[in-house]
Structure 1
Amino acid sequence: MTDSSANLDLPFIQASQAQKHVTHNEAIDILDTLVQLSVQSRTTATPPATPSAGHRYILPQGAAGAWAGHDGAVVQWGGEAWRIYPPKTGWQAYIADEAQSVIWTGTHWAGLLSGALEVERLGVNSAADETNRLAVASDATLLTHAGTSHQLKINKALPENTASLVFQTGWSGRAEMGCAGNDDFAVKVSADGASWTTALSLSAATGLAMMPQGAEINGPLSGTAILGSVSQTAGALFERGETGDGAYFKLANGVLLCLSPDLAVGAISTAAGSLFQSAALVWTFPAAFAAPPTVTGALGIAGTWMGNGPTAATNCSVTALSYQSVTDGGAIRITALGRWF
């Protein structure tokens, strides 16, 4: 008969042994240490100066003092000295200061779930099923980084499949965002969970944004997409500029408005039937039209007005008219309205 048990090395009471209670109590003490094993920590490397009875520790690498040379062992204060127990493969322990359980692999203590974990379903405070294989009932769900960045990936097999996030009220869909039925990213809304309306769509091929229902904007607009260079294919909504010939204002829909500076007009004294006119004045537009625009203008002198002459896509000719001869013609301002394409 051996002197101790095979697994926990509990001492046996021998035949005709004196003071059998000593051996029995030692075995009880070992059981009290190792059964339902819970330790204070596995990072304390030096024995505490005033150890508490019953406190157990797993020794880390580089343990010192009375623990030196026993890395990985389980220790407990015995009242006068530290009892040291080398672990065996499969031992489990709860780490109090980490609130997690570990297992001795034969070489080191590892978390119970440190390896790969694969389950068919997982319900956290909720029942998972064949469709919702992961179900979580909670006030919040946190997905965070492991040092730098974090990505949440929703993958689909083919473009015609769906990869999206659906937001519900009482299990009835109200909003969906993602790639549903194609690879364009879309945001859809619903009032009843049955009929859906696309509010925003972003083309996967071009990145262009489309709002089929239109948009209501109550705040300010800014940026080069609002005021910049307009184009028939891509550009800003509005364009404005100034040259020595005046100012212009272009709209993306093709409208062009040109404004002249104050243009000096000479004397309105040349007879023209019952009227008097000035010499012809040619104004070059600050931006060219696609075709001759509509030209209007006015003088700052009572009883005078502007008369139109030949108009082209790049300039116009005007005269000042009056019912009476005016020796000082003053200034005229001209407006041209047309299209730039």
Structure 2
Amino acid sequence: MPDTSPILALPLLQPAQAQKHVTVNEALLLLEAAVQLVVEDRSRTAPPAEPGQGQRHLVAPGAVGDWAGQEGAVAVFDSGVWRFVPPAPGWWAEVRAEGRQVVWTGSAWEIRQPDLDQLPGLGIGTAHDAVNRLALAAEASLFSHAGAGHQMKVNKATPADTASLLFQTNWSGRAEMGLSGSDAWALKVSAEGSAWIEALAVDGATGHVSGAAVQASASDVTPGRLMRADYGYSPGNLLGEVSQSGGQPTGAAIQSGSTANGSFLRLADGTQICTHSLTMLAGAYNNVGGTWTFAQPFVGTRSVSLTAPNSGSDYINCSASQFGLCRQGSGGVSVVLNLTGITPIDPAAQVRNVRVSAIGRWV
């Protein structure tokens, strides 16, 4: 018959053994040391100065003094002496100094990690429920990287479901962003938690933005709305070809150019200005004149201004003092201009570099 039990090595009574109480008491003391194992700490390498009866410790590596050579054992103070119980792999111990459990692996006492898979719920500082299975009450939450970046995922089953972040005041919604009822990312806001406005929505195929915070049309000047690139002007479309549709600008804000017949400037509102430097020849009615074909045609009524004499004009076989009233014809493509002479004009007279301008509309 063996002297000890196979698991806890408790002393066993032998046939015809005398003083059986000694063996029984020894076994009971070992049981008391090993069962319901709660120790004071696991960091000591030497006994405390004044241990209490029944006090238990886990002997740390590098033990000295009365604990020398007992690393990893359960040290129990009993009747003025230290007893040592060697642990078996799988033993658990509650460490009071740390407020947690450790397990003996066969070579060291290590923190026992609970199985956190498939938990029904988890509440940190608060209680979870059937819907909010993960609940947290704290001043802040930290999600950090594990060496590189960090990505938070919010997944939904179908496009009609919701995957979003909801921001509340006293449990009443005020803002929500994410995929709400579709696969287009959106930002919604509410003043009181029941009526919601979709401020922004981003189309997943194009990346284009729409919503109450965005200009709805070219004529929309609602304060606080974001201007659409195709409804407003910026360095990219300020200069270019002007155009209109239904009276609304659809192209650039300013268009300019020049031809052999002068220069032109068109504005998005329909205004057109043409300028030229004209040569006027002597005519049959004691005048000088010429035909100006506009650099770009006008529509409707236009006003033509002819300046003569002026400092930039050149007078051939005539002088500035010989001219008075300016007369002009009509036309949207060209116009006939005349300077009436107030004294007889030489048939070979010319006035060169006469500055002329016309203003009207291109649409």
State the match for 1:89 in structure 2.
90
Question: In the TM superposition, what is the alpha-carbon distance from 1:129 to its structure 2 partner?
Answer: 1.9
Distance in 2, Cα, partners of 1:56 & 1:4: 23
* Contact residue 257 and residue 335 of structure 1 kept, 8 A: no
State the match for 2:239 in structure 1.
240
Task: Please list, as runs of the form range in 1=range in 2, the aligned pairs for 1:300-311 lying within 5 A after superposition.
Answer: 311=333
Distance in 1, Cα, partners of 2:212 & 2:225: 19
Question: In the TM superposition, what is the alpha-carbon distance from 1:119 to its structure 2 partner?
Answer: 2.1
State the match for 1:245 in structure 2.
none
Question: In the TM superposition, what is the alpha-carbon distance from 1:2 to its structure 2 partner?
Answer: 8.2
Distance in 2, Cα, partners of 1:274 & 1:31: 136
Aligned partner (choices 347, 353, 356) of residue 329 of structure 1? 353
* Contact residue 59 and residue 70 of structure 2 kept, 8 A: no
Distance in 2, Cα, partners of 1:68 & 1:250: 96
Aligned partner (choices 245, 254, 275) of residue 251 of structure 2? 254
Task: Please list, as runs of the form range in 1=range in 2, the aligned pairs for 1:112-191 lying within 5 A after superposition.
Answer: 112-113=112-113, 115-191=115-191
CA radius of gyration, larger in: 2
* Contact residue 37 and residue 93 of structure 2 kept, 8 A: no
Give secondary structure in 1 for the equivalent of 2:159: coil
Q: Specify the code of the residue in structure 2 equivalent to 1:240.
A: L
Q: Give the length in aligned residue pairs.
A: 296
State the match for 2:201 in structure 1.
201
State the match for 1:266 in structure 2.
278
After superposition, the C-alpha distances for 1:83-106 in whole angstroms (9 at most, x for unaligned) are 794553132354969x86432355
Q: In 2 relative to 1, CA 191–90 (structure 1 residues): closer, same or farther, beyond 3 Å?
A: same
Question: In the TM superposition, what is the alpha-carbon distance from 1:283 to its structure 2 partner?
Answer: 3.0
What RMSD in Å do the two structures reach over aligned CA positions?
5.6
Q: In 2 relative to 1, CA 134–280 (structure 1 residues): closer, same or farther, beyond 3 Å?
A: same
User: What is the TM-score normalised by the length of structure 1?
Assistant: 0.59
After superposition, the C-alpha distances for 1:126-147 in whole angstroms (9 at most, x for unaligned) are 2222222222222222222222
Aligned partner (choices 256, 279, 295) of residue 283 of structure 1? 295
Q: In 2 relative to 1, CA 309–58 (structure 1 residues): closer, same or farther, beyond 3 Å?
A: farther
After superposition, the C-alpha distances for 1:52-94 in whole angstroms (9 at most, x for unaligned) are 73885654xxx899999999x3587x9xx9x794553132354
Q: In 2 relative to 1, CA 16–153 (structure 1 residues): closer, same or farther, beyond 3 Å?
A: same
State the match for 1:235 in structure 2.
none
State the match for 2:39 in structure 1.
37
State the match for 1:44 in structure 2.
none
Q: Which moved more, 1:128-137 or 1:212-221?
A: 212-221
* Contact residue 327 and residue 339 of structure 2 kept, 8 A: yes
Unpaired segments ≥5 residues, structure 2:
52-56, 216-222, 264-274, 311-324, 343-349
Distance in 2, Cα, partners of 1:203 & 1:188: 15
